[in-house]
Amino acid sequence: RMDWNSYHALEDIEGYLGWLNASTNGVVQVLSAATTQEGRPVYVVRVNDRGATGPKKRIWIEGGIHAREWISPAATTFILHQVATNPDWQRTILPHTEWYFVPVANPDGYAHTFTGGRARLWRKNRRVNDNALPDRCNGVDLNRNWDLKWGVGASQNPCSELYMGEVPFSEAETTGLKYFMERVGPLDLFITFHSYGQSVLYPWGWTKDPPKNAKMLHRVGRRFLEAVQHVSKGQVDYTLGGSGAMLGFASGATDDWAYGALGAKHAYTIELRDTGHYGFLLPEAQIGSTVRETAAGVQCMVTYMINNG
Ligand code: 0X9
Ligand code: ZN
């Protein structure tokens, strides 16, 4: 049905979502948040055990907003798989949580990277900005298109990989996800998976000034680092900090919007393996260990949040 030993084309991922939807007795629901320029749905997968009452942490996990970062949808689907099918997670985590997964936030871009040679490591979506311009001038960086301090560390040039779009939320993917998130309501935890760099980043993206609950963001982020260290037996190290301070300024990203506009209590961008040796071309042999340590990291963050209010 699905495995985490190879990278999967969009159709395989969608097939797996359909299987989950059909075989988990209403616990997993596959919904659509948007239809892309090329006509593909942007799926949101809700996981909620209606049998469990009592307070629940609301968690949103986004993957695949950057087309070439293939390990991101792999990690997102693996965590979804744990929540939906792992007896340990279902006993200890699921009764206290409600999950929303976006396995591939940029399906057009993702599909494009499966057309051979990873289509020159495409990052943006596939909007046609101007028919007269070369292919690299197509697309909007969906992680520069959200409306919070829009335009910092981004480009107004459509030919740039960091093209922010004509206006905030100019894209079907970002608008659709925004509306969906607003309907879901206040989040306790938002995570968007990227690669590469092995870092856990929290707001803000446009300033080095820490947000008001930076201490708490740091404390919960540490749980991820500790779990990865533990599972990898000290082989894999992540760094942790504010994204503006760690990476340089960039706004219009989902993490800042989820935190600053939607009011998510915790919001993170997690840059997965590696630190640059393979970069975006992380070998398939590393998928399994990467997604397992990542799931352990998220499990520890969520467990901490459940136990600490
Ligand atoms: O620049 C990005 O969009 C992310 N890095 S990546 O190399 N995967 O493109 C980092 C985003 C960090 N968050 C903010 N700057 N708000
Ligand atoms: Zn990215």
Report yes or no on 3 lying in a domain.
Answer: no
pLDDT over threshold 90, residue 25? no
As residues whose CB is below 5 A from the ion ligand 2, the structure lists 66, 69, 194
Characterise 25 by phi-psi region: left (phi > 0), alpha (psi -120 to 50), beta (else).
left
Q: Give the pLDDT score at 149.
A: 93
Pairing of strands 41-47, 239-242: unpaired
Q: What is the pLDDT of residues 248-307, one digit of tens each?
A: 999 999 999 999 999 999 999 999 999 999 999 999 999 999 999 999 999 999 999 999
Distance CA(193)–CA(69), nearest Å, equals 9
287-307 and 71-85 are packed helices; what angle lies between their axes, rounded to 10 degrees? 50
The finding on whether 250 has its CB within 6 A of some atom of ligand 1 is: yes
Residue 6 banded pLDDT, cuts 50, 70, 90:
very high
Ligand with the closest atom to the CA of 62: 2
Ligand with the closest atom to the CA of 141: 1
Cis geometry, peptide bond prior to residue 4 (ω within 30 degrees of 0): no
The active-site residue out of 14, 98, 171, 271 is: 271
Q: Give the pLDDT score at 24.
A: 87
Report yes or no on 4 lying in a domain.
Answer: no
Write the DSSP assignment of 83-148 as a string of letters: HHH-HHHHHHTGGGEEEEEES-S-HHHHHHTTSSTHHHH--S----S-TTS-GGG----TTS-SSS
ipTM over 0.85? The verdict is yes
Long-range CB contacts for residues 17-24, cutoff 8 Å, separation at least 24: 17/43, 17/45, 17/103, 20/45, 20/80, 20/84, 24/84, 24/85
Q: What is the pLDDT of residues 136-187, one digit of tens each?
A: 999 999 999 999 999 999 999 999 999 999 999 999 999 999 999 999 989 9
Predicted TM-score of the model (pTM):
0.98
Q: End-to-end CA distance of the chain: give it in Å, rounded.
A: 37
Number of domains in the chain: 1
Distance 253 CA to ligand 2 centre (A): 10
Distance CA(293)–CA(299), nearest Å, equals 10
Q: What is the pLDDT of residues 72-114, one digit of tens each?
A: 999 999 999 999 999 999 999 999 999 999 999 999 999 999 9
- Token readout for 43 is 């799926």
Q: In what order do the strands lie in the sheet with 57-62?
A: 28-35, 41-47, 97-102, 57-62, 189-195, 266-272, 199-202, 239-242
Look up the domain containing 239 and give its range. Answer: 10-307
Residue 69 banded pLDDT, cuts 50, 70, 90:
very high
Lowest mean pLDDT among 24-28, 43-47, 116-120, 151-155: 116-120
Report yes or no on 293 lying in a domain.
Answer: yes
Report yes or no on 302 lying in a domain.
Answer: yes
| Known active-site residue 171 | no
Report yes or no on 2 lying in a domain.
Answer: no
Q: Give the pLDDT score at 309.
A: 77
Indicate which CATH number applies to the domain containing 278.
3.40.630.10
Nearest protein Cα to ligand 1, atom 2: 143
Report yes or no on 80 lying in a domain.
Answer: yes
Give the residue among 115, 114, 178, 113 at the shortest CA–CA distance from 142: 178
Residue 192 banded pLDDT, cuts 50, 70, 90:
very high
Nearest protein Cα to ligand 1, atom 16: 205
Residue 20 banded pLDDT, cuts 50, 70, 90:
very high
pLDDT over threshold 90, residue 1? no
Q: Give the pLDDT score at 65.
A: 98
Coil, helix or strand for 6? coil
Report yes or no on 17 lying in a domain.
Answer: yes
Pairing of strands 97-102, 189-195: unpaired
Q: Give the pLDDT score at 240.
A: 98
Report yes or no on 5 lying in a domain.
Answer: no
- Token readout for 27 is 């616990």
Distance 119 CA to ligand 2 centre (A): 16
